[in-house]
Structure 1
Amino acid sequence: MKRIIVAALSGCCLFICLSSSVLYGQTSDKGDRISGPNFATRSPVLGRHGMVATSHPLATQIGLDVLKQGGTAIDAAIAANAALGVIEPNNGGIGGDLFAIIWSAKERKMYGLNASGRSPQELTYNTLKNLLGNRTQLPLYGPLSVSVPGTVDGWFQLHGRFGKLPMRTLLEPSIRYAREGVPVPQVIAYSWQIAARRLADNQADITEFANFRKIFLIQGKAPVEGQVFRNPDLAATYEKIARGGRDAFYKGSIAEDMDRYARRTGIYLRKADLATHRSTWIQPVSVNYRGYDVFELPPNGQGIAVLQMLNILEGYDLKKLGHNSAEYLHLLVEAKKLAFEDRARYYADPEFAKDSIDWLLTKQYAAVRRKLINPAKASEHLDAGDPALRAGDTVYLTAADEEGNIVSLIQSNMLEFGSGMVPDGLGFVLHNRGTSFNLKPDHANVYAPGKRPFTTIIPGFVLKDGQPFLSFGVMGGAMQPQGHLQVLCNIIDFGMNVQEAGDAARFSHSGSSEPIGTVMQDGGRLALESGISPAVRASLEKLGHKLAPTDFFGGYQAIQWDTTNKIYWGASEMRKDGQAAGY
């Protein structure tokens, strides 16, 4: 019998976790593999001509079909992302934001795209404070949590620079699935049901909820595994985008529909906000970790937390400590706490920032922070670094094509089903990324009109000797940088293959200081997957870590490039419904 233990807000999506007994009895129910480590769920997927890895098998197949039609990796990613908005609407959709890292094989160059939206211009700081009354943080749901959706512009920016097939071709499979319907798989159904109950419990903040019930519930209930879900309103919206391009969404009838809905429901989003929205091409930032150049995108995202943690941990012989030993996990958790203090204080929209934060990524700064780690005791309270030291819910997918182009793309509604508000007749939920602003006037992430809020979604990319090595991501709010870190250590320090690196047991630490203003006072809570032994758990408790019963541990997809044999290695871990497929 399935036992639901807890629902946890991860800061990006709502995720539901099972007890360590998993679904049917104890962990001993797991079968044995005849090759490779037993914790791996399958072998990596190998392909010479192309590879796609997403959190839903049908989206993966759509992306693979696009590659076989002659589309680029970017075409495949757009098509797969559009499909996920139909078949995994709790975690992604065109009401949310998008980030991507692209490797252009022809140019031998890396590009970054920030397709996140900004806060409404008409909602001033003083107006927001008056509307909030005694609240010290923005509500998680409802009209005040809505910012401009950036995904559609992100698609067209990517397509304009790297696409080959017509956008109509890329959207057609999703239009068909939205009209005809698609069966809901196990993990998506599971979280959909909990998310629907959570939104219903928060209707006091959601000024209009009838549209959500109409679109995303079936006879008043969230779909169960195997039930067919249809969304003809979203099919019609995709049709308009296919015909009218990005302007249909930001300047045309879709923008008018969003504006009209916003005015009647108390959302401050206006057609003018949509019309002036723009994505930003940015330069990914990197650090070198043991000979590998690890790339993330700079703020307003949290990707540089991964780089900060790697810099700190480079000073230790992690392999000697042993994978998932108490000593190893202690160091990773303490490095996470240190990086997250800086994340809480300095990460924000760079267009509003007074000073550069490049100093956070220097090796000198990492050495100073590393000295704060006590190998014999877990920290309970830490401060952000001093600039005087300067020396520097979500869907993830990745695709690679025959020419060697690779894209690492992540896209999100923020929490599952975002704000809970669905514009009339459009079939998608508006995200609630605006809830991630801080309300303290002197904070880097303080709310301001036209400003991008702090965001948790981060694509990852790794080069080795100037060649693409790994395109990867791990879904799940504050778990994302922790997941990136653990996957990278699994591959670089412990020599795991791309599938094993995702399947290996993980930790998830919660309770760090956050950009919205909360402060860690008691060291937070450390959750461990069932593959981590009781002896290690006991040792971590002796070090002062407070263990949590469970948490969300992410959802990983990856493509690795084998330069010697010219082969793509694809991976999709067991924590989601996903699939990697190549040809």
Structure 2
Amino acid sequence: MEFNVLSNRYKSERNVMYAKNGAVATSNPQAAQAGLEILKKGGNAVDAAVATAATLAVTEPTSNGIGGDAYSLVWIESEKKLYGLNASGFAPELMTKEAYKGLEKMPRHGFGAVTVPGIPSAWAELNKKFGKLSLYECLKPAIDYAREGYIVYPNVAKLWKESFEDYTNDLKEIDNIKTPIEKKEIEINLTDKDILKDWFDTFTINKKAPNAGDIFKCEEQAKTLEEIAITNAESFYRGRIADLIDKHSKKFGGMIRKSDLERYRPQWVEPISTNYKGYDICEIPPNGHGITVLMALNILKELNLDEEKETVDNIHKMIECMKLAFADSKKYVTDREKMSVSVDEMLNQSYAKKRSELIKDKAILPKAGEPFCGGTVYLCTSDKDGNMVSHIQSNYMNFGSGVVIPNTGIALHNRGNNFSLDENHDNVVEPFKKPYHTIIPGFIKKDDAAIGCFGVMGAFMQPQGQFQVLTNLIDFNMNPQEALDAPRWQWIDGMSIEIEDDMKENIANGLKEKGHDVKVVSDKINMGRGQIILKNKNGGYICGTEKRCDGSVAIY
């Protein structure tokens, strides 16, 4: 009997989940089980996070992979300390503004969008600093899934088909080159048809995207993961895999070189935070745009919300807060050392109060202020000792750049697309600089104790999703599952917003009256996909997983 695996005729309700000794929450059941397997073997929350992350790189190649970037927030209970890891990569030495002369914006595909990948270094560094098991043990579930095959889940199949169509359209564009500028764009994006050949060879079945329920295998990926595990990722940055990346880049006129990979190290950073109604909300500092969440919360602190969550006035105020926060982060956020304003200035509460005064009864077009004063796949894990990890990793746009290193299963991300070509912009492209980054893990503390980890994936929806989940938890006293299930909105640009079709009927009309250009959407895959694990006051953990993806919580 055949089933319509993409059908969602009736709404399903998920109950909040409780765990006694530990939990793994993520967007793919196979990855959640991989993390649970590690917990049962005696690994800690960090080991489980590495195992889950590596498995996601295999089972959700549409969102992340070995050639992407990562961030982590790690709570170590014995130290009562939150650590931050920035494993995003920088621009190669040859990635200068002059290299893109003739273009108005950075390319989406091809080597021109590829910065140094950080994911393998994140796995190795997390394991080295906090892990109890070996890196090989942690990567073994992912290796087995790559070698023996895994089930392709419905949302992954949908995104896979989108990428297949996207790269197929690229091939058609190459055939239709007419002007020198078009030729220049294609040369920087793709060079020629052969650069996409390896993607079609590696990530298709009989030259087609796999369907939901299909089994997909990638022996090349399994061998690469084994090499990363055995060498603690040294092969990727300073060995054989680095040589392969260098060779492929040179073949197609790319910018990344082995010397760039050799230079790269992940960075341990001090998390940034703001206090929102008694809770410390923690994020990775720029170049990530987690600061957008904190700025929006600071502005919201200056406003009054209705007790009932789903009112036109509440949603209007929250949208306006997010618009103003985004206006600033999009202008100023880049590599922290290259920002023209400081984090402290952007998070200054006096500045937030000044921004809040711009919010009126009608929607406004957001403009950046001047904050001078005297921002994928997500997972979270926990263990019996109280350690917790909030981890996010991404190829940025689905599979990323479309560039696959032959015989490795490595799809390189396109994070360089986020750079600006405006020489006066803080985020202008330049060698060894990290671009504005959209992936943001979140963490909540109170009185120097861990409350829990949370995150919402989805590019520029991430701060908006986090903002809504946090207000659901703190302002409207929802449990983790309710906080994720609640209908969402998304600011797109200017006056344009999207709201989910399960919001109350009066919301759309009410927001239109306030000047918003409202689109009601039924396809929720782009409205954020989150996970939450919080400490339960009675011991253990209370968890929620996203209804908008193939989410799963594995409990121990």
TM-score range, shorter-chain basis? over 0.9
Q: Does the alignment pair 1:433 with 2:415? A: yes
TM-score, length-scaled by structure 2? 0.93
SS in 2 for 1:528: strand
Deviation string for 1:177-216 (max 9, x for gaps)?
1111111011111111112111221234323011100111
**8 Å Cα contact 1:400-1:407 kept in structure 2:** yes
Q: For 2:207 and 2:376, how far apart are their aligned partners in 1?
A: 25
Q: Which of 275, 281, 288 lines up with 1:288 in the alignment? A: 275
SS in 2 for 1:144: helix
Look up the equivalent residue of 1:151 and give its one-letter code: I
What is the CA-CA distance between 1:357 and the residue it aligns to?
3.2
Deviation string for 1:388-446 (max 9, x for gaps)?
4x25x911000011111100000000100000010111102100000100111121101
Look up the equivalent residue of 2:202 and give its one-letter code: I
Deviation string for 1:517-542 (max 9, x for gaps)?
xxxxxx33111111112211111101
Aligned to 1:494: 476
Look up the equivalent residue of 2:44 and give its one-letter code: T
Stretch deviating more after TM superposition (88-97 or 550-559): 550-559
Aligned to 2:533: 559
Aligned to 1:206: 190
Q: For 1:276 and 1:30, how far apart are their aligned partners in 2?
A: 50
Q: Which of 272, 292, 313 lines up with 2:259 in the alignment? A: 272
What is the CA-CA distance between 1:30 and the residue it aligns to?
3.3
What is the CA-CA distance between 1:277 and the residue it aligns to?
0.3
Structure 2, unpaired ranges of 5+? 175-188
**8 Å Cα contact 2:95-2:429 kept in structure 1:** no
SS in 1 for 2:483: helix
CA RMSD of aligned residues (A): 1.7
SS in 2 for 1:317: coil
Aligned to 2:381: 399
Aligned to 1:173: 141
Q: For 2:140 and 2:530, how far apart are their aligned partners in 1?
A: 27
- Equivalent positions of 1:151-230 (< 5 A) are 151-203=119-171, 204=174, 205-207=189-191, 208-230=195-217
Aligned to 2:179: none
Q: For 1:466 and 1:244, how far apart are their aligned partners in 2?
A: 37
Deviation string for 1:296-352 (max 9, x for gaps)?
1111010011001111111233243x2121101100110011001101111010122
Q: For 1:153 and 1:257, how far apart are their aligned partners in 2?
A: 17
Look up the equivalent residue of 1:346 and give its one-letter code: Y
**8 Å Cα contact 2:227-2:233 kept in structure 1:** no
**8 Å Cα contact 1:319-1:494 kept in structure 2:** no
Report the count of equivalent residues: 531
Look up the equivalent residue of 2:466 and give its one-letter code: H
**8 Å Cα contact 2:303-2:356 kept in structure 1:** no
Q: Does the alignment pair 1:325 with 2:311? A: yes
**8 Å Cα contact 1:319-1:493 kept in structure 2:** no
Look up the equivalent residue of 2:328 and give its one-letter code: D
Deviation string for 1:121-179 (max 9, x for gaps)?
023222x233xx1x210111111000000011111111111101011111111111111
Look up the equivalent residue of 1:455 and give its one-letter code: H
Deviation string for 1:20-71 (max 9, x for gaps)?
xx843xxxx436xxxxxxxxx2111111111110110010011011011111
- Equivalent positions of 1:109-188 (< 5 A) are 109-126=81-98, 128-130=99-101, 133=102, 135-188=103-156
Look up the equivalent residue of 1:181 and give its one-letter code: G
Q: Does the alignment pair 1:306 with 2:286? A: no
Aligned to 2:333: 347
Look up the equivalent residue of 1:118 and give its one-letter code: F
Look up the equivalent residue of 1:475 and give its one-letter code: M
**8 Å Cα contact 2:495-2:515 kept in structure 1:** no
SS in 2 for 1:91: coil
Q: Which of 522, 537, 545 lines up with 1:572 in the alignment? A: 545
SS in 1 for 2:136: helix
Q: For 2:233 and 2:262, how far apart are their aligned partners in 1?
A: 10
Q: Does the alignment pair 1:236 with 2:223? A: yes
What is the CA-CA distance between 1:246 and the residue it aligns to?
1.6
- Equivalent positions of 1:406-485 (< 5 A) are 406-485=388-467
Aligned to 2:11: 30
What is the CA-CA distance between 1:387 and the residue it aligns to?
3.5
Q: For 2:156 and 2:85, how far apart are their aligned partners in 1?
A: 27
Q: For 2:134 and 2:266, how far apart are their aligned partners in 1?
A: 21
Aligned to 2:178: none
Aligned to 2:45: 73
Look up the equivalent residue of 2:281 and give its one-letter code: V
Q: For 2:385 and 2:296, how far apart are their aligned partners in 1?
A: 33
Q: For 2:477 and 2:324, how far apart are their aligned partners in 1?
A: 26
Aligned to 2:500: 529
Structure 1, unpaired ranges of 5+? 4-17, 32-40, 512-522
Identity level (%): 41
Look up the equivalent residue of 2:161 and give its one-letter code: Q
Look up the equivalent residue of 2:359 and give its one-letter code: I
Q: For 2:327 and 2:423, how far apart are their aligned partners in 1?
A: 18
Deviation string for 1:5-29 (max 9, x for gaps)?
xxxxxxxxxxxxx9xxx843xxxx4
SS in 1 for 2:82: strand
Aligned to 1:515: none
1:534/1:355 Cα in 2 relative to 1: closer, same or farther (>3 Å)? closer
Look up the equivalent residue of 2:133 and give its one-letter code: L
Q: For 2:367 and 2:310, how far apart are their aligned partners in 1?
A: 27
Q: Which of 58, 61, 76 lines up with 2:30 in the alignment? A: 58
Q: Does the alignment pair 1:382 with 2:366? A: yes
Look up the equivalent residue of 2:128 and give its one-letter code: G
SS in 2 for 1:547: strand
Deviation string for 1:439-464 (max 9, x for gaps)?
11121101100111111000000012
Q: For 1:151 and 1:580, how far apart are their aligned partners in 2?
A: 23
What is the CA-CA distance between 1:354 and the residue it aligns to?
4.5
Q: For 1:319 and 1:300, how far apart are their aligned partners in 2?
A: 34
Look up the equivalent residue of 1:138 and give its one-letter code: M
Q: For 1:121 and 1:260, how far apart are their aligned partners in 2?
A: 16
**8 Å Cα contact 1:570-1:582 kept in structure 2:** no
SS in 2 for 1:318: coil
What is the CA-CA distance between 1:355 and the residue it aligns to?
4.2
What is the CA-CA distance between 1:549 and the residue it aligns to?
4.2
Q: For 2:464 and 2:442, how far apart are their aligned partners in 1?
A: 12
Q: For 2:481 and 2:144, how far apart are their aligned partners in 1?
A: 32
**8 Å Cα contact 2:500-2:520 kept in structure 1:** no
**8 Å Cα contact 1:570-1:581 kept in structure 2:** no
Q: For 2:11 and 2:531, how far apart are their aligned partners in 1?
A: 22
Q: Which of 346, 350, 372 lines up with 1:364 in the alignment? A: 350
Deviation string for 1:476-516 (max 9, x for gaps)?
011000000000000101010011100110001111xxxxx
Q: For 1:437 and 1:339, how far apart are their aligned partners in 2?
A: 19
Q: For 1:188 and 1:537, how far apart are their aligned partners in 2?
A: 30
**8 Å Cα contact 2:332-2:340 kept in structure 1:** no
